[in-house]
Structure 1
């Protein structure tokens, strides 16, 4: 089991930089930040951009994996996003993972105007988004048009060429998203039932998580892909709560998720107030016991 942590982009860089460095020192395998213009519970608070935050984190750390959780079509264009991702990944020397999601209704869907797409349209848009992002990063030379995006005479450098493209972590709970995961993802991401922030005990959500794992494995098999080549990343603290309530709870959850087939567990850095309220000492104690040794490697 590999372990990650989400650092909300809510602090000025002098404070945030120390958090990113500390995540590396604690032994976390990867650290993530959210990519939103505004965010549901902190819309009236400081909130910094995901791309600049990850760029700065790339210069503040040396070995820590860096992740965006998640870029969406709500305000990102694949060609512009590809340029930003390639630039961050160069600065980070290959440590970047880009999470991708269809984009939920909310601030990001409304803030630039227009009408948010209906569910089927959202799935169509997300498919076009991932396909074009992959094409630009891998092939570089792209001339494409769809009902959602135009890429006219793109000549993109740097590009993956014959080497590996930076990893995608595709958030998906339904069949179309899982099909995209099988085609393009190096990671599959879930937090449990979609749009669920009830914070239930893990044991209550585990049947749904096992079903999702079966579905994404089946999607891989239909695509002719070995399911074992796909990392399975669970993001805690939404549908499932209480994982960082104690070191014992953290350890128990990690064991249960690994037994179910997950390869990565991501929690949020505990905050003094909601959302993700908790005692940050738990992550320090967990790191001392687990992450700095060989137990979870």
Structure 2
């Protein structure tokens, strides 16, 4: 039975890698079709570099109408069940965590609905990932620390990726916020501000699909606000008192900064393709805003 499951996982992984490998070729063909379609609609001359294949591509345009699926990417494979099935989150830490990191992991567990926390112990990364896949976990979140202060968060989407790496700063935990009260377990509404670039949309999707679809009457709000590529995370509940809106922070709160995205899972981090990486030592690093378009 175990061998059958392993063979099935290997086959699905090969199929996913193959679809991802032909993605660029399909995108090129799709762009050529769009150029030919535009030329025909506007009664213009077909570009010289497309004339050789124009007749063949024109015959396939009928299959690319409004009812067709259109161009698909590896993102469609990664998040094809988003919004249909609730995510299932597993939260863990680096090895030998401090008491403060354990406390932070507990607060992260309260933050995400349908999440569970597991003690890292002596588990190898491959063992953790295989256990998550076997239990239909959709995302593995790992928190790291430096001298007792949480300083990094890794979001690994399963079964194939992507994996996003964030640095954390200015971390304020729930028990450090005065009069914090109890945390609602309702599915939160999400607010994303200033994620306008292509990479910004990608990061927004990675974070958005960690949460299930909320009900309209939910009084819980989670905010991701981007300011110069630093993502401010805030968590509030609200209520109306005498027709006045009262907003109360329930924590935790921290600043996040994306520094790498790989097209794979944590156990394949050394060999996976790098989708994007932060390069702070380039001459234009100070000028660039990667999550927003100015």
Please, what TM-score do these two structures have when normalized by structure 2?
A: 0.23
What's the TM-score, normalizing by structure 1?
A: 0.23
Higher strand share: 2
Task: Indicate the structure with greater helix content.
Answer: 1
Decide which structure has the larger Cα Rg and report it: 2
